[in-house]
A and B are shown apart, each in its own frame.
Chain A
Amino acid sequence: MNYIEKLRTSEDMVTPGMSACQGCCGELVLRRILQIAGKNTIVCVPPGCMSGAGVVGWDYQTGMKIPVHIPLLTNTASFLSGVSQMYQRKGRGDVNMIAVAGDGATADGGFQSLSGAAERNEKMLYVCYDNEGYMNTGFQRSSTTTKGSRTSTTPIGEAINGKQQPSKYVSLIMSMHALQYCATASPSHMQDMVAKIERGLSESKKGFAFIHVLAPCPTGWSFEPDQSIQIAKKAVASNMFPLWEKYNGNYYITVENKKPIPVKEFLQSMGKFKSLTDADIAQIQQEADTKYETLKKLASE
């Protein structure tokens, strides 16, 4: 079955009406993961835009067709470790254990528990939807926010102009754990993303699988909602967000980028980078180049 057939025949597990903004890639990613995973699944969605959008239920009504829990911002991977261990113990290792967590819950507050669970190679699929900030609380900076970005805790000012530090490359850090599977994905490259979710699910039966998905956010990043996929495409095309995976100890670049576009094209397509100077752009370009070179080296070994 090709990926389009897969998507058009699989059942949506999420409430049809959730309050994520128009054009939200977080919503897109959440629905895709869970429709591929299907009913035999337990999912955790920590505090953030997705849980806030109603998928973890409201009062006595649930937001999913599958069991769902909102853990803490700081403990998704450890909470799910406990569930997973009990299911292994009960001989029900076939149940998918999935986390769908924001970059804050993944790379910041939840990073310690995530790293611990990956190090223990707990059996689960942990997906980070990265919208590069704490969107649910009003778009504050996170460690994955790109340098120069305007956020509500790194505003554009006379003295300090946007975020001062480059982003933390959480997927590469995660790949340095002895985990089962690690990948990056972009909703613009849906076929690649679907394949990685499927592989991530099957690898999660053997150990820890981690997928870092870019999730452009029209509201926070300041672009028109219909541009979400275009922006994601540019992120990949400019090497701001290269697509790769690691399994059996080897790195593979899954979408090769022979002729990258300048990062400027990506940066200028949204409002949050409006105040970047040429020097900022040059530095971001250099970081993107270095990132891709590093990955190429890793993939060629």
Chain B
Amino acid sequence: MSKKVHISPLANEGMYILDTASWRTERPVINKEKCIECGLCLTYCPVNAIIFDEDKYKITYNYCKGCGICAVECPKKAIDMTPEGGEK
């Protein structure tokens, strides 16, 4: 905890980040065969866990909560919700 006592209640010592990946019971996985790189999954992900990198949409797992929205909204059904193994 900070040694410094601010005059007013304020916070500027780094970012408060919760480990939301640990909530996940299912892991979304993009099937590259089916994916048409439309980007809809990225627009709907509440967590911003989907990124566009080297011309491809990719799911990152540091904060993905495993809600499954991306899988439901993918027009090509290219995302599978698979049982979570725990790896990052």
Contacts and interface: CB of A to CB of B under 8 A. Distances in A.
A–B touching in complex (CB under 8 Å):
yes
Interface of A: 3-4, 7-9, 12, 15-20, 22-25, 27-28, 31, 35, 54, 57-63, 65, 187, 190, 224-230
9 contacts: A8-B52, A17-B19, A17-B20, A22-B23, A22-B66, A28-B44, A31-B47, A60-B2, A228-B67
Contacts of B23: 22
B11 A62 contact: yes
Given A59-B11, A226-B81, 15 more contacts: A7-B39, A15-B15, A15-B17, A16-B62, A19-B20, A22-B65, A28-B45, A35-B48, A58-B11, A58-B16, A60-B11, A61-B14, A190-B44, A225-B68, A229-B44
Contacts, number: 108
Contacts of A54: 16, 18
A225 B67 contact: yes
Contacts of B17: 15-17
Contact of A31 (B38, B48, B66): B48
Among A62, A226, A227, the most chain B Cβ lie within 10 Å of the Cβ of A226
Contacts of B62: 16
Contacts of A27: 46-47
Contact of A229 (B19, B39, B66, B73): B73
Given A226-B68, A227-B72, A60 B43 contact: no
A226 B20 contact: no
A22 B52 CA distance: 22
A22 B43 contact: no
A4 B44 contact: no
A187 B19 contact: no
Contacts of A230: 72
**B contacts with A: majority SS:** loop
Interface string B53-71: 0000000001101111101
A61 B1 CA distance: 10
Nearest to A6: B43
A62 B6 CA distance: 14
Given A12-B48, A228-B69, A63 B16 contact: yes
Contacts of A229: 44, 69, 72-73
A198 B52 CA distance: 22
A12 to B, nearest CB: 5
Among A3, A8, A20, A224, the most chain B Cβ lie within 10 Å of the Cβ of A8
A2 to B, nearest CB: 9
Given A4-B42, A12-B48, A62 B68 contact: no
A35 B46 CA distance: 12
A16 B20 CA distance: 9
Interface string B17-55: 111110100000000000000111011111110011000
